[in-house]
Structure 1
């Protein structure tokens, strides 16, 4: 029997050696592992453990570096994704703007092709002034009986409401159409009690009496004085037929109780006001100023909740949708900014979308009675019609080559009236987009249809032939 170990081992113990015999031992530095034939390094097991610890530390460092690199890559991917989303949003906005412009151009081309029909309608309107009135009935007009609509308006007459001694700046009906008010550059609000037959009723707060002269002129029943400067806009409460708000260049908004003829509240906006609008629920007022601020006013307390500054955007008009969910602002960029109204939040508003559609400043906008459509009039002489749910332009009205100053829908949504810097008011049939009637007048700063009747009130500019500037109501039909 030779050995119990591998013959090739460095350690060899003869089995037949004498007891107690001395044999030389190999160096421990030359030991080999019996299973893996592993050559131990100098220093033995202690040195091996140090190497293993160093390897573990290196592995941990590598893992940490890999984790850091992974986190950096993830952050880079997130930033890249956000950048791509911003580029996509900008591209979508640009595409929408181009689509709208293409649509407007197509509408212009289409309406130019229909100019012959428009001229025929206008000629019928002018010729009908020499035809005995036939007392055409107001009804639902469609594209098949536009000549009947043209004849109806050609048979209408106008009545003057006398009172303003200087330029009229705004005209407005109250919610039920029983009162009509106007504001002027003289800082006075004038109110008439309205009778559809053409008479105004006496008011205990006024010494003026109603008048039916040969010219059908009617004097105001009450004057509201308190502003120190021009009044640019007035707005009636939709819930109280006797409450009215006025916006003045004296940097205040005033709330009036017409029934008692007194101001019941004044709010400072710290800037010259150019527009004011009452919310549909009667609880809030928004006003925009000449230096592009928007003031949100709480009506129960008659205090300012917040004033917003819009840098780089010249605000021209502000308004609410019919539900009071949206606040819209028309600006000098030819856009309409739509904001969600959040009365219970600290910010109160949140930007939703920008409506691109005009190439020049938007001066006016108005919702139709159903609240589905928004009309906007611009310095590019185009009146655009927007589906507010889809926030897309669906129709345009083009007649004048002058900037549009004011727009208003008829009570039944059949017609839209638009005034410009020239001396006419155009009445369009909405379904067909055709001009139906032209009202000859001096330049008009403001107009508004009666809430329940086909009567159109407007505020003409001063001219040499008009000694007593007034508001006028068109649509009296015999």
Structure 2
């Protein structure tokens, strides 16, 4: 039986989630022109703010923008210029056609996807692997594997400010207010820093030893924390670690409310549905994507995959999930919109 017709903005109750998605088939987007063949590694995915485009970045330097409604590669756009693998991409949250990409070639590029033009670039940033836009789209933070953070402007070809962190930081996220940023570290903790000053926002309320910091950090992992994601409602901050766990922190009191432990392998990406009701993690190992109900921690559905899915991204306006599977972009939920 076909899934019921559903408005892209309406919420699916958790008891109906699996029944809704069970009959749906994923749509593959095969890049036959990729330099790494059909199994080139897709490291990062990004929807534009309206959900009308999705970009993919791969280890073989391929950066491509797809129309979700047209899976044939001839309807996509390749953006050429990086000389090493693409590590992270993200659209400007307030501009539908402005895309930023970072690569371990040390270059950050800004693209106009309508014209395929690189409209700005910042060079010499080292082995960059993390990227987050401020919510107003006016600036962004880029991080490299040496623990350096760089504040950039999309219209300026030099660094606005740089900050050396005491420990390597991974994929970060901004608070929706834009005045704070969440930095996951290889120590398994998450720092909460002001923006743009990048100073600790919270401090412990008990005495510490003279040589210890009073900075308050979120502790949810026994291994490096690799990624963080704030829910669209702002209620939860999800953190993913190399210990195969997603921890969900309440942003009111910063207590870890629940953990998701059904995952396999290090959690490299996290994504919430547009309404914040469900969360999914992308892992380096395993053969499936586990969807969890945010408020209760209940497992609601497993999307079967052919292999590990390192990159995952729910669409910003509807129940469509994009993910990488054996180097191929797949999206599930589009056919439900057409019924």
TM-score range, shorter chain: 0.7 to 0.9
Contact in 1 for aligned 2:270/2:282 (Cα 8 Å):
yes
Aligned with 1:472 (options 327, 330, 334): 330
Q: What is the correspondence of 1:188-227 to structure 2 with a 5 Å cutoff?
A: 188-194=62-68, 199-200=69-70, 211=72, 219-227=74-82
Query: Given the alignment of the two structures, is residue 235 of structure 1 paired with residue 124 of structure 2, yes or no?
Result: no
Query: Given the alignment of the two structures, is residue 359 of structure 1 paired with residue 219 of structure 2, yes or no?
Result: no
Contact in 1 for aligned 2:11/2:275 (Cα 8 Å):
no
Q: Deviations over 1:225-282 (max 9, x none)?
A: 0001111110100111010000011001000011111101111243111111111111
Contact in 1 for aligned 2:235/2:250 (Cα 8 Å):
yes
Map of 1:434 onto structure 2: 298
SS in 2 for 1:156: coil
Contact in 1 for aligned 2:120/2:156 (Cα 8 Å):
no
Matched residues, number: 311
Flag structure 1 segments of 5+ consecutive residues without an equivalent: 1-132, 201-209, 212-217, 343-347, 462-468
In the aligned structure 2, how far is the partner of 1:322 from the partner of 1:316? 19
Q: Deviations over 1:61-106 (max 9, x none)?
A: xxxxxxxxxxxxxxxxxxxxxxxxxxxxxxxxxxxxxxxxxxxxxx
| Displacement after TM superposition at 1:432 (Å) | 2.3
Map of 2:22 onto structure 1: 154
SS in 2 for 1:437: strand
In the aligned structure 1, how far is the partner of 2:299 from the partner of 2:177? 30
In the aligned structure 1, how far is the partner of 2:103 from the partner of 2:272? 26
| Displacement after TM superposition at 1:149 (Å) | 1.8
Map of 1:135 onto structure 2: 3
Map of 1:314 onto structure 2: 168
Distance change >3 Å, CA 302–CA 167, structure 1 → 2 = same
Contact in 2 for aligned 1:426/1:437 (Cα 8 Å):
yes
| Displacement after TM superposition at 1:391 (Å) | 2.1
My pick for the range that moved more, 320-329 or 222-231, is 320-329
Flag structure 2 segments of 5+ consecutive residues without an equivalent: 202-215
| Displacement after TM superposition at 1:174 (Å) | 0.2
In the aligned structure 2, how far is the partner of 1:401 from the partner of 1:222? 33
Map of 2:44 onto structure 1: 170
Over the aligned positions, Cα root-mean-square deviation in angstroms equals 1.8
Map of 1:413 onto structure 2: 276
* TM-score, reference length from structure 2: 0.86
Query: Given the alignment of the two structures, is residue 181 of structure 1 paired with residue 45 of structure 2, yes or no?
Result: no
SS in 2 for 1:171: strand
In the aligned structure 1, how far is the partner of 2:48 from the partner of 2:86? 18
Distance change >3 Å, CA 140–CA 265, structure 1 → 2 = closer
Distance change >3 Å, CA 326–CA 228, structure 1 → 2 = same
In the aligned structure 2, how far is the partner of 1:375 from the partner of 1:317? 12
| Displacement after TM superposition at 1:378 (Å) | 1.2
Query: Given the alignment of the two structures, is residue 350 of structure 1 paired with residue 199 of structure 2, yes or no?
Result: yes
Map of 1:338 onto structure 2: 192
Contact in 2 for aligned 1:235/1:245 (Cα 8 Å):
yes
Q: Deviations over 1:428-466 (max 9, x none)?
A: 1122211111112211121100011100001223xxxxx
My pick for the range that moved more, 376-385 or 448-457, is 376-385
Contact in 2 for aligned 1:161/1:219 (Cα 8 Å):
no
Q: More relative contact order in 1 or in 2 (CA 8 Å, sep 6+)?
A: 2
Contact in 2 for aligned 1:137/1:152 (Cα 8 Å):
no
Map of 1:291 onto structure 2: 146
Rg (Cα) greater in structure? 1
Map of 1:325 onto structure 2: 179
In the aligned structure 1, how far is the partner of 2:173 from the partner of 2:325? 23
In the aligned structure 2, how far is the partner of 1:250 from the partner of 1:403? 24
Q: What is the correspondence of 1:390-469 to structure 2 with a 5 Å cutoff?
A: 390-420=253-283, 421-441=285-305, 442-461=307-326, 469=327
Query: Given the alignment of the two structures, is residue 280 of structure 1 paired with residue 129 of structure 2, yes or no?
Result: no
Contact in 2 for aligned 1:251/1:271 (Cα 8 Å):
yes
Contact in 1 for aligned 2:120/2:155 (Cα 8 Å):
no
Greater share of helix? 1
In the aligned structure 2, how far is the partner of 1:293 from the partner of 1:340? 16
Runs of 4+ in 1 over 6 A off after TM superposition: none
